[in-house]
Structure 1
């Protein structure tokens, strides 16, 4: 399993968003950090084949995505959770995840069992008959994670999955996501403590350009006492921002 981007350029309405990105990811959990507007969500949408790059290439598990036909081939291997994922509030939790299994190409006879396994992994097996609209915010996030992981995809892309979660729920989320380190996981977040808790690698994106790509300890080593932040990782992240963005 792998995810490779080569010279990926992305733009919307003629405005550049990603500038010739190169990234090679294997199994493990990679954290994606960056300020608002850095291009993180655009990068995840490009990785998920939701939008094709304007130039450059995306390769998923050895398949180069060169058009809609090849994109359809790899989508069954990708679990993607946008920050604001849509759902029918009247749909029951099991139905919601079964639908994701169907979209991912899981054979019909295996869809229910696959959905149940995903819900057990996120500790929602006792809520299979609950309507999505009746879940708490934390439960809805966990249902979204089940949507992303059902069918055991090779690549799992999570965009700000801990937004709105309280500290207890975030700790629970970390335990859940560690179970999928055998896949290629990309976790986009603003929270450096989530990065420190679960990630093997961290990529920092700023203004559509990768400014750092290495291990979490290597990033923490860049932090020094003269920078704002409560931890070495926060200070290191601030170190990578342009001077005008460091001022609090």
Structure 2
């Protein structure tokens, strides 16, 4: 998939754009530790994903929000978030305490005792974000967090993401370009296993064709990189 890929994501919030089959899911899986590279390393700070002595600390430093967040049968909202913390190595007490704090950060503290299966899709996505915050991750990786959400749910999600930027770094894979300027500082475009663009949002938007409406600049800039030669 990748041909000697080297990329270093800057602190802050980065959006990863690319068509289906570009390699985004593979790259995210490498970063969160679901896959290991055949050669080279994946590093967050001074922690390397495939070094045994730092593997558990690496896993705790990275939060993972897949596209589909499932309600855990029989668990209430706070229990589900606490369980995610326990899976990352927290003891039961710390997982329970941190779960309440994480739910507060995503605006779901009032639903802590509600069964997870009773939540809406947008609320469940925010539970997923709380699950990435419960173990004090330094980097949160998200795959299509806004997929399937209505405009109101997307607005709430945007507010949540803006509220956590600064405390953690974000790497978000998406097909949607509408919210780039509202959330992210950096853009990376991946196509056919190659990084076609990696830079700050203003530089990315400047690649749109002259005369394109401001609301369409991100979409137009993205199209300029797809299918081009590296």
TM-score under structure 1 normalisation? 0.85
Corresponding residue for residue 44 of structure 1: 28
Q: Please say if residues 229 and 238 of structure 1, whose CA atoms lie closer than 8 Å, have aligned partners that are also in contact.
A: no
Query: Residues of 2 paired with 1:61 and 1:106: CA distance?
Result: 21
- Are 1:154 and 2:138 an aligned pair? yes
The alpha carbon displacement at 1:68 in A equals 4.9
- Gap change, CA 1:131 and 1:159, over 3 Å in 2: same
Which blocks of at least 5 consecutive residues in structure 2 are unaligned? none
The alpha carbon displacement at 1:150 in A equals 1.4
Q: Please say if residues 78 and 153 of structure 1, whose CA atoms lie closer than 8 Å, have aligned partners that are also in contact.
A: yes
Query: Residues of 2 paired with 1:141 and 1:180: CA distance?
Result: 15
Q: 1 or 2 for the larger relative contact order (CA 8 Å, sep ≥6)?
A: 2
Q: Please say if residues 180 and 201 of structure 2, whose CA atoms lie closer than 8 Å, have aligned partners that are also in contact.
A: yes
- Are 1:180 and 2:164 an aligned pair? yes
- Are 1:200 and 2:194 an aligned pair? no
Query: Residues of 2 paired with 1:229 and 1:181: CA distance?
Result: 24
Q: Please say if residues 70 and 124 of structure 2, whose CA atoms lie closer than 8 Å, have aligned partners that are also in contact.
A: no
Q: Please say if residues 69 and 125 of structure 2, whose CA atoms lie closer than 8 Å, have aligned partners that are also in contact.
A: no
Q: What's the secondary structure of 1:138's corresponding residue?
A: helix
Deviates more, 1:213-222 or 1:120-129: 120-129
Corresponding residue for residue 219 of structure 2: 234
More strand by share: 1
The alpha carbon displacement at 1:124 in A equals 1.0
- Are 1:223 and 2:208 an aligned pair? yes
Corresponding residue for residue 92 of structure 2: 108
Corresponding residue for residue 106 of structure 2: 122
Which among 115, 121, 124 is matched to residue 140 of structure 1? 124
Q: Please say if residues 227 and 239 of structure 1, whose CA atoms lie closer than 8 Å, have aligned partners that are also in contact.
A: no
Q: Please say if residues 92 and 132 of structure 1, whose CA atoms lie closer than 8 Å, have aligned partners that are also in contact.
A: yes
Q: What's the secondary structure of 1:187's corresponding residue?
A: strand
Query: Residues of 1 paired with 2:190 and 2:140: CA distance?
Result: 19
- Are 1:166 and 2:150 an aligned pair? yes
The alpha carbon displacement at 1:33 in A equals 0.5
TM-score under structure 2 normalisation? 0.91
Q: Please say if residues 30 and 186 of structure 1, whose CA atoms lie closer than 8 Å, have aligned partners that are also in contact.
A: yes
Which structure 1 residue ranges, 4+ long, deviate > 4 Å from structure 2? 225-230
The alpha carbon displacement at 1:167 in A equals 1.0
Which blocks of at least 5 consecutive residues in structure 1 are unaligned? 1-16, 244-248
Corresponding residue for residue 11 of structure 1: none
Cα deviation code 1:197-243 (max 9, x no counterpart)? 10010100011110000011101100015889961111100111127
- Gap change, CA 1:132 and 1:188, over 3 Å in 2: same
